[in-house]
Amino acid sequence: MTIQTPAARTAALALAPFTAAALVLAPPPAGAHDVLTGSTPEDGQTLDTAPEEVVLSFNNAPLESGDGNAISVTGPDEETTYETGDLVFEGNDVSTELEPLDQAGDYTIGFRVVSSDGHPIQESLTFTVPEEAVAEGASEEEEGAGADEAAAEDTQDEGAQEDTGEAAEEAADEGGISGTAVGIIIAAAVVVLAGVILVAVRVRRSTH
C-alpha cells in the first residue's frame, strides 16, 4: 500500500483541474476518420428497377478535390463500366449518373473519396439487377427513343407543311400578277378588235 504524505496529497489536488482540462482539450484519436454511412443502391441490395445514379453518403462532407475522388460502377462481366465520370457533391453526399444498365447480375461500386480531414476513404459495394429490371429499362429506353423520333418527324412534317404553304402562297401571288396582266392584254386586244370591226363596217356602209 502506498502512503501519501500531506504534501503529496496537496500537490495532487492542485494539479487535478489542469489534468481534467488537458483531457477535455485533447484531440480525438488519429484513427477517427470519416466513414460511409449509407448508399443508394444499398450494399447487397437486389433492385426491382435498374438505377440511374449511385449516391454515397458520409458522416461529414467530403472534400471536392478533383483527382482524389472517383466512383466506378462495373457490370457483371467485370469489364464494362457505367458511370458517367462526373461527380456531384451535395453536402455529405457524392453521386454520379449511370448509363443504362444492360446486363443482369451483380454490379460493383468502387469508390475513393477524400474525407473532410484529408484522408481517402476507399471501399467497394455490390448490388444486383435481375433480368426483369434490365428488360424493363431497355423497353423504356426504346419507348423514349421512339417518342423522340416521332416528335422529330412531327417537327419535320410541320416544317415541310409551312414551307409548302409559303411556296404555294408565293406561287399564287406570282400567278395572280401574271393572270391579271394576261387579262389586261386580252381585254385590250378585244377592244382593239372591236374597233377594227366597227371601222370596217362603217367603211363598207359608206361605200354603198
Name which of 139, 127, 72, 70 is nearest 102 in CA terms: 139
Q: Which residue has the higher pLDDT, 201 or 111?
A: 111
Strands of the sheet with 36-40, listed across from one edge: 36-40, 53-58, 93-98, 83-90
Which distant-in-sequence residues (6+ apart) come within 8 Å of 57 by Cβ?
36, 37, 38, 39, 92, 93
How far is residue 193 from each of residues 150, 180, 198, measured CA to CA in Å? 62, 20, 9
Beta bridge partners of 81: 74
pLDDT, tens digit, 9 for 90 and up, residues 12-47: 555 555 444 444 444 444 456 899 999 999 999 999
- Parse the chain into domains and list their residue ranges: 36-129, 131-169
How far is residue 205 from each of residues 113, 196, 208, measured CA to CA in Å? 118, 14, 5
Does the predicted TM-score (pTM) go above 0.85?
Answer: no
Using alpha carbons only, what angle is made at residue 152 by residues 149 and 157, rounded to the nearest 5 degrees? Answer: 125
CATH number for domain 36-129, candidates 3.40.50.720, 3.40.50.2000, 2.60.40.1220, 2.60.40.1180: 2.60.40.1220
Name the pLDDT band for 197 (thresholds 50, 70, 90). confident
Stretch 109-116: mean pLDDT: 96
Q: How many CB atoms lie within 10 A of CB 197?
A: 10
